[in-house]
């Protein structure tokens, strides 16, 4: 309707870049890389060129507020205006959490959305930046699309951009750029309304207002600060100050917005050490840069992401949105098999997918699963097509309000019923890419010889590089992680991460299942010591990387 007459476009000549291949969560590079002349413009035009239904469409646009977010949004708006987009819905100040974008795409039946984020990676002028496209179901674009964008980026010769000034990003209202409508909305309201429809806010509010219950939510100076303050403190009545580090800062306060025991130090200190009142909070949580990850804690107690997914699934009927039960569970291959035990008891399927939330999209759209999660602190359900940090926090609070037990008691009862999956992940960060690839290649070349071998009284039953056959569209994804599985179902998994911007990150995952309740109180690293030793020996980690210990253990 807006483009009955073509707009006069003055294309800008450009040179293609060769390094714009999106990873599992879009294109992530250093800010300095994105600020190169034409770098962002080339990639955005490549996205637009791969969208045949772009003309006359609606797009959602926003980011996590990291350094370069505002400048990038102005560039994208000017490009969208002369590439046929009819309307852009933009978060106030250019801010949207990733799950909020997913919800708005679905609510407004938009063609898709552009999310500016490098998720849990550090921000600031010397930090990381990222951009990804989410499709009409609200989820990350599939590999077929991202591969097409990469191919386009290697041959692009020009891009289209309006030669006009930008718009004020901080004022809610309607604007026009060329003939394109821009609607700037409150970043939080729509998402908060969705959460109120899923959970029992009255019961959660009663819990949070109880004098015997307190919480601490660490927003890590990232995007969820305004979301958590609105929902937890204003709507649900948590004590003011329950949200710490709640201001969204372009450099995340100089920290690393990754919700784990290493980087969420302020939260961990509060949950493990007595504060000025002489007690720890009953419930603790943290979220990451763009709001899609979460960490759950009780007083003096840490819940692994794998266990968190299993507990939420096992207690789903206590949550209004899932009171009729769930259809199935999805988990990434490296995630522990705790959810498999829940699915088996519930009589529902549990799907094992590669790492990357986009692989859950088909299963959710086909109504094969209702909940899904990854060991990398991501949990979600069919309400959006992204992992959702605050959703997981509210799910736990709803369960706590219904069961009237502590986090630790709930998890220990879960282990007594389903058994305990001892689980850990060791990250070796910033390894030279050549060394990391050599390590994986060496493992790959030795896989055929591992089956039947015995290590510490365990026999290898499977040694392979995981291949996923999508049950919905029959697509095949190969080389998704090296698996070594033993006769007692213990697992060792090796992967190279696709979310970093410097060097390579080797991820080592270790899992062991213990049914005997008398063995549920072991320290995790102690319980997995012999498997960790076997993994380091099999991969020759010291030999290939020079590292005698991981950078991060979770």
Which residues are annotated as catalytic? Answer: 119
Nearest one of 206, 274, 214 to 241, comparing CA atoms: 214
Other beta carbons less than 10 A from residue 475's beta carbon = 14
Nearest one of 310, 435, 453 to 372, comparing CA atoms: 310
Write the CA distances from 347 to 114, 148, 328, 367, integer angstroms. Answer: 38, 39, 9, 16
Other beta carbons less than 10 A from residue 164's beta carbon = 12
Q: 378: phi > 0 → left, psi -120 to 50 → alpha, else beta; which?
A: beta
Give me the sign of the Cα torsion angle 73, 77, 79, 84: positive
DSSP 402-428: HH---HHHHHHHHHHHH-EEEEEEEEE
Write the CA distances from 440 to 363, 405, 495, 541, integer angstroms. Answer: 29, 44, 8, 10
Q: Is 452 helix (H, G, I), strand (E, B) or coil?
A: coil
Q: What's the residue count for the chain?
A: 554
Q: Are 267 and 260 in contact (CB under 8 A)?
A: no
Write the CA distances from 448 to 289, 334, 465, 548, integer angstroms. Answer: 41, 21, 11, 27
Pairing of β 420-431 and β 504-514: antiparallel
Phi, psi of 545 (to 5 degrees): -110, -20
The pair of three-digit structure tokens given for residue 465, joined into one six-digit string: 């590089």
Phi, psi of 169 (to 5 degrees): -85, -15
Which residues, including other chains, have CB under 8 Å from residue 508's CB and lie 6 or more apart? 425, 426, 427, 428, 492, 493, 494, 532, 535, 539, 541, 550
Q: What's the CA gap between 397 and 464, in Å, rounded?
A: 40
The pair of three-digit structure tokens given for residue 77, joined into one six-digit string: 């708006």
Q: What's the CA gap between 179 and 78, in Å, rounded?
A: 11
Q: What's the CA gap between 119 and 168, in Å, rounded?
A: 25
Nearest one of 518, 464, 469 to 491, comparing CA atoms: 464
Q: What's the CA gap between 457 and 106, in Å, rounded?
A: 51
Q: What's the CA gap between 430 and 508, in Å, rounded?
A: 14
Q: 289: phi > 0 → left, psi -120 to 50 → alpha, else beta; which?
A: alpha
Q: Is 175 helix (H, G, I), strand (E, B) or coil?
A: strand
């Amino acid at each position: 309707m807006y483009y009955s007459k073509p707009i006069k476009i003055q294309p800008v000549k450009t040179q293609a870049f060769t390094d714009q291949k999106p990873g599992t969560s879009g294109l992530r590079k250093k800010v300095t890389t994105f600020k190169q002349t034409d770098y962002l413009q080339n990639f955005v035009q490549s996205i637009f060129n791969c969208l045949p239904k772009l003309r006359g469409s609606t797009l959602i646009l926003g980011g996590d507020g990291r350094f370069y977010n505002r400048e990038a949004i102005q560039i994208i708006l000017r490009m969208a205006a002369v590439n046929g987009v009819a309307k852009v819905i933009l978060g106030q100040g250019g801010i949207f959490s990733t799950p909020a974008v997913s919800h708005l795409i679905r609510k407004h039946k938009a063609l898709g959305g552009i999310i500016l984020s490098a998720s849990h990676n550090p921000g600031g002028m010397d930090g990381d930046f990222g951009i990804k496209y989410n499709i009409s179901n609200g989820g990350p674009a599939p590999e077929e699309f991202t591969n097409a964008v990469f191919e386009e980026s290697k041959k692009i010769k020009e891009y289209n951009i309006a030669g006009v000034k930008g718009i004020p990003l901080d004022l809610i209202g309607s604007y026009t750029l060329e003939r394109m409508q821009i609607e700037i909305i409150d970043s939080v309201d729509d998402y908060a309304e969705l959460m109120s429809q899923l959970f029992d806010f009255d019961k959660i509010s009663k819990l949070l207002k109880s004098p015997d219950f307190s919480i601490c939510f660490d927003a890590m100076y990232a995007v969820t600060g305004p979301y958590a303050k609105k929902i937890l403190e204003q709507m649900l009545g948590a004590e003011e100050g329950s949200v710490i580090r709640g201001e969204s800062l372009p450099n995340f306060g100089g920290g690393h917005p990754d919700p784990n025991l290493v980087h969420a130090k302020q939260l961990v200190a509060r949950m493990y050490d007595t504060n000025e009142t002489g007690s720890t909070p009953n419930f603790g949580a943290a979220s990451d840069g763009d709001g899609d990850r979460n960490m759950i804690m009780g007083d003096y107690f840490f819940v692994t992401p794998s266990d968190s997914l299993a507990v939420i699934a096992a207690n789903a009927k206590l949550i209004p949105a899932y009171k009729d039960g769930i259809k199935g569970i999805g988990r990434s291959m490296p995630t522990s098999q705790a959810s498999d035990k829940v699915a088996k008891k519930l009589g529902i399927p549990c799907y094992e997918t590669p790492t990357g939330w986009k692989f859950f999209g088909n299963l959710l759209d086909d109504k094969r699963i209702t909940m899904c999660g990854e060991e990398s602190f991501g949990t979600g359900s069919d309400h959006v097509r992204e992992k959702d940090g605050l959703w997981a926090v509210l799910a736990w609070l709803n369960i706590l309000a219904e069961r009237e037990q502590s986090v630790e008691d709930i998890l220990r009862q879960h282990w007594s019923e389903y058994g305990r999956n001892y689980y850990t992940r060791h990250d070796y960060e910033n390894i030279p890419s050549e060394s990391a690839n050599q390590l994986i290649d060496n493992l790959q070349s030795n896989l055929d010889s591992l089956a039947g071998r015995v290590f510490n009284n365990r026999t290898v039953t499977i040694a392979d590089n995981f291949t996923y056959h999508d049950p919905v569209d029959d697509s095949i994804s190969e080389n998704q992680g090296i698996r070594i599985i033993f006769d007692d179902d213990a697992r060792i998994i090796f992967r190279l991460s696709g979310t970093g911007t410097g060097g390579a990150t080797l991820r080592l995952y270790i899992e062991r299942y213990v049914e005997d309740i008398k063995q549920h109180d072991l320290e995790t690293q102690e319980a997995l010591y012999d498997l960790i030793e076997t993994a380091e020996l099999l991969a020759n980690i010291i030999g290939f990387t020079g590292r005698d210990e991981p950078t991060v253990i979770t």
